């Protein structure tokens, strides 16, 4: 007997179970993909999904993978990612991904099954207080106690997740509520009391910012992920080019401003470029756009851009002057504020300032040693050259993450996806999977270290099942590389539990049914990257066996200032540690 697939929201006004109302609410919300894993508490919901063709359900192999996939989908598309899991361990397995989304302001909505209302608090089978557990790491969360409130709750969840400063929202769904019946009405809009995001910047503050900018001789635009979240790349580029102002980005801001522009300085912070950090240190006006002055950027707070007047544009009022006191705060949507600001500013006289920065770029470029062993930096640089920046690159956490941020030239918004604030190893593979479901216009490339890859490698099964045309690159140095680097530099090279005994990654990938390559020589790197990019019939896996003991430079040690910046020691080239030489300082201060 065939089952007729229902589409759309034509069922409004009919009596339905909570499970049916839930799935039709997702349809009404425009949800295209759900990443999930069924269980006893959600079995009614999964039964209701059988009769629905509007939504693609992706069966992951672990609930943490579901949350990271939802994050990758959200970051790549700008639309909320959706997760559906069962109660107890199903719910608790989502916690890391929820915390990751909270730290990085990623809009996801996580629906968790729950035991029936009368059993809550009785230590029932597979019961967990997921609302209490996730309260500190969600924008808001709900326990649905009445089926009549279900549709409205779903609407509110998506509204809260995707407005203001985006973030995760969790909705807990008791099993009996999903079985209860009521009439289905999905609201066209909702209004949440006490939640009123400010999107329009105050005109007087924007005018004041324009006045401060007009006095600048050494301005810098410091751009964070908020510029990408608000789709403000065109307005940002117009502002930078109008002012002739150099631009540096945070890890999450990469792609907001094209790095093929002469105004681009790349990433700043602990592992940012030498010249971006020095430029921020000596700028006289710092324009922070959708950034939060986190510790990996500022180092020693008292010394960060100490000579600059600081303008801060952010939609989250709690982020203003939270870490660094600013002179001109502007609360509002970045895109809208920049559009107004662009109407008030004029070109600045920055010729000498730009010439100085250009000199710094020549004297202190990003660099690495070459030789017989493959360098991870070389792999990433070649990947950037071959793709021309036309790719969505999803990194895990560690040395490869920083090298990718440094050596891949970012051109497009939403082309760089990574775990920043929480620093979650195991992020890349499932997040790239989520991005692949959301975007078909660009190749999706996952880059992981050998440690991080193994934390969620089970999602290889999901990737292969759906024949996603992903490129999965593993940078294998046999170490937990970033921890090893810190042990080398700051702990007298006492390597404590950082060496990895790895499986045969190629055989593992092939066991999942994936085409796989192993690269051990630099001369083979370019050829294999081209083969991988040309592979269209499902995923392809490539292991690059790289130099084991390599460090990420530049590096500003934690809590230090630009004066303590470490650059790559080199027996031939003069080390480039520290602040600019006196001859350059004259130009800077001029």
pLDDT, position 371? 76
407 and 291 in a single domain? The answer is no
89 and 121 in a single domain? The answer is yes
Whether 368 is covered by a domain: the verdict is no
Q: Cα–Cα distance between 446 and 4 in angstroms, integer?
A: 38
Q: What is the DSSP string of 352-372?
A: HHHHHHHHHHHHS------SS
* Average pLDDT rounded to a whole number, residues 125-133: 97
* Average pLDDT rounded to a whole number, residues 103-115: 98
Say which residues have a Cβ less than 8 Å from residue 534's Cβ, sequence separation at least 6: none
Q: Cα–Cα distance between 76 and 445 in angstroms, integer?
A: 12
399 and 540 in a single domain? The answer is yes
Whether 501 is covered by a domain: the verdict is yes
Q: Which of 509, 527, 545 is the last residue of a domain?
A: 545
Average pLDDT of the chain is 94
pLDDT, position 51? 87
Q: Which of 149, 183, 217 is the last residue of a domain?
A: 183
Distances (CA, A) of 24 to 47, 50, 534: 13, 12, 39
pLDDT digits (tens, 9 = 90+) for 179-205: 999 999 999 999 998 899 999 999 999
- In 10 A of CB 215, how many CB atoms? 11
Q: Cα–Cα distance between 279 and 358 in angstroms, integer?
A: 11
Task: Kindly report the CATH number assigned to the domain that includes residue 434.
Answer: 3.40.50.970
pLDDT, position 10? 53
Whether 572 is covered by a domain: the verdict is no
Q: Which of 306, 339, 363 is the last residue of a domain?
A: 363
- In 10 A of CB 105, how many CB atoms? 24
Task: Kindly report the CATH number assigned to the domain that includes residue 341.
Answer: 3.40.50.1220
Say which residues have a Cβ less than 8 Å from residue 102's Cβ, sequence separation at least 6: 137, 138, 139, 167, 168
pLDDT digits (tens, 9 = 90+) for 439-480: 999 999 999 999 999 999 999 999 999 999 999 999 999 999
Q: Cα–Cα distance between 584 and 590 in angstroms, integer?
A: 10
23 and 168 in a single domain? The answer is yes
Judging by beta carbons within 10 Å of its beta carbon (0-12, 13-18, 19+), is residue 578 exposed, middle or buried? middle
Instruction: Report percent pLDDT > 90 for the chain.
Output: 91
* Contact of 72 with 394, CB cutoff 8 Å: yes
pLDDT, position 582? 46
pLDDT, position 13? 83
CA 264 distance to own-chain centroid: 20
pLDDT, position 571? 44
* Bridge partner residues of 170 (DSSP): 110, 141
Alpha helices, H only, 197-293: 203-214, 225-229, 233-243, 274-282
423 and 332 in a single domain? The answer is no
Enter the tokens of residue 368. 């690495």
Q: Cα–Cα distance between 327 and 208 in angstroms, integer?
A: 10
**On the CB side of 39, how many CA atoms lie within 13 Å of its CA?**
26
pLDDT digits (tens, 9 = 90+) for 379-411: 999 999 999 999 999 999 999 999 999 999 999
Q: What's the total number of domains in the chain?
A: 3
Smallest Cα–Cα separation from 97: which of 86, 109, 115?
109
Cis peptide before 117 (omega within 30 of 0): no
> What pLDDT band is residue 158 in, cutting at 50, 70 and 90?
very high
pLDDT digits (tens, 9 = 90+) for 465-524: 999 999 999 999 999 999 999 999 999 999 999 999 999 999 999 999 999 999 999 999
pLDDT, position 1? 27
pLDDT digits (tens, 9 = 90+) for 352-369: 999 999 999 999 999 998
pLDDT, position 587? 45
Q: What is the pTM of this model?
A: 0.94
381 and 525 in a single domain? The answer is yes
pLDDT digits (tens, 9 = 90+) for 13-49: 899 999 999 999 999 999 999 999 999 999 999 999 9
pLDDT, position 53? 83
State the distance between the two ends of the chain, measured CA to CA, in whole angstroms.
83
Q: What is the DSSP string of 56-75?
A: EEEE-SSHHHHHHHHHHHHH
* Contact of 557 with 490, CB cutoff 8 Å: yes
Whether 188 is covered by a domain: the verdict is no
Alpha helices, H only, 414-524: 428-438, 450-453, 460-465, 481-490, 505-511
Whether 294 is covered by a domain: the verdict is yes
303 and 335 in a single domain? The answer is yes
Four-residue CA torsion sign, 383, 251, 295, 236: positive
Q: Which helix (H) or strand (E) holds 82?
A: strand 81-85
Angle between helices 63-77 and 428-438 (to 10 degrees): 50
* Contact of 75 with 106, CB cutoff 8 Å: yes
* Contact of 103 with 128, CB cutoff 8 Å: no
Alpha helices, H only, 256-333: 274-282, 295-298
* Average pLDDT rounded to a whole number, residues 293-309: 94
Say which residues have a Cβ less than 8 Å from residue 561's Cβ, sequence separation at least 6: 281, 299, 300, 303, 304
Smallest Cα–Cα separation from 528: which of 389, 396, 362, 379?
379
* Contact of 127 with 120, CB cutoff 8 Å: yes
| 3-class DSSP state of 375 | coil
Q: DSSP secondary-structure letter at 564? A: G
211 and 352 in a single domain? The answer is yes
Whether 175 is covered by a domain: the verdict is yes
405 and 469 in a single domain? The answer is yes
Judging by beta carbons within 10 Å of its beta carbon (0-12, 13-18, 19+), is residue 297 exposed, middle or buried? buried
320 and 456 in a single domain? The answer is no
- For the chain, what is the radius of gyration of the CA atoms? 25
* Contact of 284 with 218, CB cutoff 8 Å: yes
Q: Cα-flanking dihedrals φ and ψ of residue 497, to 5°? A: 60, 45
Whether 560 is covered by a domain: the verdict is no
249 and 388 in a single domain? The answer is no
Give the Cα-Cα-Cα angle 138, 143, 149 (nearest 5 degrees). Answer: 115
| 3-class DSSP state of 479 | strand
Distances (CA, A) of 397 to 423, 453, 546: 6, 10, 17
Q: Cα–Cα distance between 334 and 329 in angstroms, integer?
A: 12
* Contact of 192 with 137, CB cutoff 8 Å: no
Range of the domain at 480: 376-545
Instruction: Report percent pLDDT > 70 for the chain.
Output: 95
Distances (CA, A) of 129 to 67, 83, 142, 158: 18, 18, 11, 22
Q: Would you name the residues annotated as active-site residues?
A: 63, 125-126, 175, 482
Whether 476 is covered by a domain: the verdict is yes
Q: Cα–Cα distance between 190 and 410 in angstroms, integer?
A: 38
* Contact of 167 with 101, CB cutoff 8 Å: yes
137 and 251 in a single domain? The answer is no
């Amino acid at each position: 007997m065939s089952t007729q697939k229902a589409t759309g929201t034509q069922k409004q006004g009919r009596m339905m179970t909570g499970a049916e109302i839930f799935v039709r609410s997702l349809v009404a919300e425009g949800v295209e993909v759900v990443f999930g894993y069924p269980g006893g508490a959600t079995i009614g919901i999964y039964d209701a999904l059988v009769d629905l063709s509007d939504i693609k359900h992706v069966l992951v192999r672990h609930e943490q993978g579901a949350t990271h996939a939802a994050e990758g989908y959200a970051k790549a598309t700008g639309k909320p990612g959706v997760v559906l899991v069962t109660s107890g361990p199903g719910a608790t397995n989502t916690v890391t991904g929820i915390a990751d989304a909270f730290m990085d302001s990623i809009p996801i909505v996580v629906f968790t099954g729950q035991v029936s209302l009368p059993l809550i608090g009785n230590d029932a089978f597979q019961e967990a207080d997921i609302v209490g557990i996730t309260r500190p790491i969600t924008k808001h969360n709900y326990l649905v106690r009445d089926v009549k409130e279900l549709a409205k709750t779903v609407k509110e969840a998506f509204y809260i997740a995707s407005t203001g400063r985006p973030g995760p929202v969790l909705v807990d769904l008791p099993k009996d509520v999903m079985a209860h019946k009521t009439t289905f009405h999905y609201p066209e809009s909702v209004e949440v009391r006490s939640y009123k995001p400010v999107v329009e910047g105050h005109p007087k503050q924007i005018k004041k910012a324009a006045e401060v900018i007009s006095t600048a001789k050494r301005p810098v635009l410091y751009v964070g992920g908020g510029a990408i979240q608000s789709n403000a790349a065109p307005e940002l580029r117009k502002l930078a080019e109008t002012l002739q102002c150099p631009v540096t980005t945070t890890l999450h801001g990469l792609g907001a401003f094209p790095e093929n522009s002469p105004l681009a300085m790349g990433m700043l912070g602990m592992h940012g470029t030498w010249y971006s950090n020095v430029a921020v240190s000596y700028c006289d006006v710092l324009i922070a756009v959708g950034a939060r002055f986190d510790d990996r950027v500022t180092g020693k707070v008292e010394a960060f851009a100490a000579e600059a007047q600081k303008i801060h544009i952010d939609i989250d009022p709690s982020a203003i002057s939270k870490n660094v006191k600013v002179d001109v705060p502007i609360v509002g949507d970045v895109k809208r504020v920049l559009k107004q600001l662009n109407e008030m500013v004029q070109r600045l006289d920055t010729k000498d300032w730009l010439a100085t920065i250009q000199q710094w770029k020549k004297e202190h470029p990003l660099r690495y040693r070459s030789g017989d062993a493959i360098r991870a930096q070389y792999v990433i640089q070649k990947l950037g050259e071959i793709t021309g920046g036309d790719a969505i690159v999803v990194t895990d956490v560690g040395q490869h993450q920083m090298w990718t941020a440094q050596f891949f030239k970012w051109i497009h918004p939403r082309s760089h996806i990574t775990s920043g604030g929480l620093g979650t190893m195991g992020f890349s593979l499932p997040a790239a999977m989520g991005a692949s479901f959301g975007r078909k216009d660009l190749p999706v490339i996952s880059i992981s270290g050998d440690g991080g890859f193994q934390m969620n490698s089970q999602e290889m099964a999901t990737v292969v099942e759906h024949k996603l045309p992903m490129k999965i690159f593993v940078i294998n140095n046999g170490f937990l590389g970033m921890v090893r680097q810190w042990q080398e530099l700051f702990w007298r090279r006492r390597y404590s539990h950082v060496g990895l005994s790895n499986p045969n990654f190629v055989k593992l990938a092939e066991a999942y049914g994936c085409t796989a390559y192993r690269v051990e020589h630099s001369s083979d790197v370019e050829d294999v990257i081209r083969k991988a990019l040309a592979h269209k019939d499902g995923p392809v896996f490539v292991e690059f066996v790289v130099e084991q003991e390599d460090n990420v430079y530049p590096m500003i040690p934690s809590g230090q200032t630009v004066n303590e910046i470490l650059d790559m020691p080199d027996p031939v080239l003069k080390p480039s540690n520290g602040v600019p030489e006196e001859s350059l300082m004259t130009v800077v201060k001029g």
